[in-house]
Structure 1
Amino acid sequence: MSDYALELLDITCTFRSKDDLSQRYTAVADTTLRIRAGEFVSVVGPTGCGKSTLLNVGAGLLEPSSGTIKVFGESLVGINRRAGYMFQSEALMPWRSTLDNVMVGLQYRGVPDADARTQGEAWLARVGLSGFGDRYPHQLSGGMRKRAALAQTLALDPDIILMDEPFSALDVQTRQLMENEVLELWAAKKKAVLFITHDLDEAIAMSDRVVVLSAGPATHPIGEFSIDLPRPRDVAEVRTDARFVELHTQIWNVLRDEVLKGYAQQLKKAA
C-alpha cells in the first residue's frame, strides 16, 4: 500500500467562460500535492487562488484538465469514496433533525436504520450534542451546526477528510473550541486530513505541514513548511509558543506578497 493517502499529481484545471467559450481561465497549473496516511496538511493562499478547486479535485467532484489523482496508490475514477468532505457551509438538510442528518450518509450506504441511529447518536455524543438529536438545523447555534456537520462527515469513518474553511463563519471562541475538538477526534484515529483555510494561525496550530499557494491565475505551491510543534496542542495556548511565532514569521514572509497580488487582482475585477 502507498504511504500516501491522497496524491494530486501535476494537476491543471482550466475553465471556459460561459459567455465566450474561446476565453479560458487556468485556476490551477502543474500542481503536485501529497498527503500521507494519518497526516494533517493545511493549504493556505490568497483569496480566489484555487484552494477549493484542489479540494474538489481530491474529492472527485471536479475532473482536472490534466494530471492524475491517486488514492492510497490507486488512480481515482469518479467520486472519492474513501473521503469525507466538510464544506464551508453546512450540508445539513433543513427538513431533517440533527440525528437524521448525521444518519443520512450511513443510510445511503445501506446501513440498517437501527444501526445508523445507534452510530449517529454515538457521534452526536462525541461532538457534544447529546440531547440535541431531535432539533432541526435552524434551532441550533452556528457552532452546534458545525458540530453536527462534523459528526455527519466522521460518521462515515472516511480514510481521508477534506475540510474547506469549515470554521470561517464562527466567532473566535467557538472557532477555537471546534479546532480543538477536530484535533482531538483526529488524534484518536489519525486519518489523513487536507484542510483549506485563509487563517495562517489556524493552519499552523492544527497541522503537521502547511503548503502555501501562489496568487492566481495558474496557482501552484510556492512553499512547504513542516510544523514541528509538539502534540497534543491547544490551539489558543500554542500561539504563544516561541516556535509558533518563528514559523508564522517564516510562512508569512512567503505568503505576504501573494496576498497583496491577490488583493490587487480582486480590486481590478471590482473596478
Structure 2
Amino acid sequence: MSDYALELLSISCTFHSKDDPGQRYTAVADTTLRVRAGEFVSVVGPTGCGKSTLLNVGAGLLEPSSGTIKVFGQTLAGVNARAGYMFQTEALMPWRSAIDNVMVGLQYRGVPDADARGQAEAWLSRVGLSGFGDRYPHQLSGGMRKRVALAQTLVLDPDIILMDEPFSALDIQTRQLMENEVLDIWSAPSRAAPRGSQGRKAVLFITHDLDEAIAMSDRVVVLSAGPATHPIGEFAIDLARPRDVAEVRTQPRFVELHTQIWEVLRDEVLKGYAQQLRKAA
C-alpha cells in the first residue's frame, strides 16, 4: 500500500467563461500535493486562489483539466469513496433532525435504520451533543450545527477527511473548541485506519487562517495568488502533540513558524487583495 493517502499530481484546472466561451481561466496550474496516511495537512493562500478547487479535485467532484489523482496508490476515477467532505457552508437538511442528518449517509449505503441510528447516537455523543438528536438545525447554535456536520462526516468512517474552512463563520471561542474537538477525534486510534497511520485519518484542511493552520497541522502548504495558483512553500510543523490550539499559540516555536510562513504568504495575500479590488471596480 502507498505511504500516501491522497496524491494530487501535476494538477491543472482551466475553466471556460459562461459569458464568453472563448475566454478561459486557469485556476490551478501544475500543482502537486501529497498527504500521507495519518497526516494532517493544511493549505493556506489568498482568498480566491483555488484552495477549494483542489479540495474538490481530491474529492472526485471536479475532474482536472490535466493531472492524476491517486488514493492509497490507486488512480481515482469518479467520486472518492474513501473520503469524507466537511463543507464550508452547512450541508445539513433543515427538515431532518440532528440524528437523522447524521444517519443519512449510512442509510444511503444500505445500513439498516436501527444500526444507523445507533452509530449516529454514538457520534453525536462523541461530539458533545448527546441528548440533542431530536433537535432540528434551526434549533441549534452555529457551533452545534458544525458538531452535527462533523458527526455526519465521521460516522461514515472515511480514511481521508477533506475540510473546507469549516469553522470560518464561528466566533473565536466556539472555533477554538471545534478545532480542539477535531484534533481530539483525529488523534484517537481507529482500527479501520490504514497501516502506518498510527490509527489516524489523513486530513486535508483548507483555511485562510494561518494561526489555525499552524495550530492544527503536521504540515502547512502555501499557495500563490491566482490565477494559475501553485504551491510556493511547504513547512513542517514540529510542535509537540497533543495540542491545545489556544495554548500552542503562546509557544516561541509557534511564533517562529508563523513568522517564517507569513514571509512567504504576505506578498501573495497582497496580490490577491489587489485582484479582488480590480474585480470590484
- TM-score class, shorter-chain normalisation, is over 0.9
Q: The residue matched to 1:156 in structure 2 has which SS?
A: coil
| Root-mean-square deviation (Å) | 0.3
2:259 equivalent in structure 1: 249
CA shift for structure 1 position 254: 0.1
Q: Runs of at least 4 residues of structure 1 off by over 3 A?
A: none
1:41-93 deviation line (CA, Å, top 9, x unaligned)? 00000000000000000000000000000000000000000000000011100
For 1:67-86, list aligned pairs within 5 A.
67-86=67-86
Give the corresponding residue for 1:10.
Answer: 10
Which residue identity lines up with residue 157 of structure 1 in the other structure? D
Question: Structure 2, unaligned stretches of length 5 or more?
Answer: 190-199
User: What does residue 152 of structure 1 align with?
Assistant: 152
Partner of 2:248: 238
- TM-score, normalized by length of structure 1? 1.00
2:194 aligned partner: none
Task: Output the CA distance in 1 between the equivalents of 2:238 and 2:110.
Answer: 41
Partner of 2:195: none
Q: Separation in 2 of the partners of 1:20 and 1:231?
A: 51
Deviations 1:137-157 (A, max 9, x none): 000000000000000000000
The residue identity in structure 2 corresponding to 1:228 is D
1:177-230, Cα deviation, whole Å (9 max, x unpaired): 000000000001310000000000000000000000000000000000000000
Whether 1:104 and 2:114 are equivalent positions in the alignment is no
Q: Which residue of 1 aligns with 2:193?
A: none
Q: Using the alignment, how far apart are the partners of 2:109 and 2:205 within structure 1?
A: 25
Mapping of residues 57-136 of structure 1, within 5 Å:
57-136=57-136
Q: Equivalent residue for 2:196?
A: none
Residue by residue over 1:76-134, the C-alpha shift from the partner in whole angstroms, topping out at 9 and shown as x without a partner, is: 00000000000001110000000000000001011100000000000000000000000
Instruction: Give the match for residue 34 of structure 1.
Output: 34
Q: 2:232 aligns with which of 199, 211, 222?
A: 222
Partner of 1:204: 214
Deviation of 1:19 (Å): 1.0
Distance 1:29 1:110 in 2: 39
CA distance in 2, matches of 1:20, 1:239: 47
Q: Residue 244 of structure 2: SS of its match in structure 1?
A: coil
1:237 alignment partner AA: E
Say which SS state the counterpart of residue 253 (structure 1) adopts: helix
- Structure 1 unaligned blocks of 5 or more: none
Tell me the SS of whatever aligns to 2:213.
helix
State the shift of 1:135 in Å: 0.3
Percent sequence identity over aligned pairs: 89
Q: Look up the SS of the partner of 1:233 in the other structure.
A: coil
Aligned length: 271
Are residues 1:266 and 2:276 paired? yes
Distance 2:4 2:255 in 1: 29
Q: Letter of the aligned partner of 2:22 in structure 1?
A: S
Q: Which residue number corresponds to residue 44 of structure 1?
A: 44
Aligned to 1:142: 142
Q: Secondary structure at the match of 2:158?
A: coil
- TM-score normalised to structure 2 length: 0.96
> Residue 223 of structure 2 aligns with which residue?
213
Partners in 1 of 2:138 and 2:58 — Cα distance? 31
Q: Which amino acid aligns with 1:264?
A: A
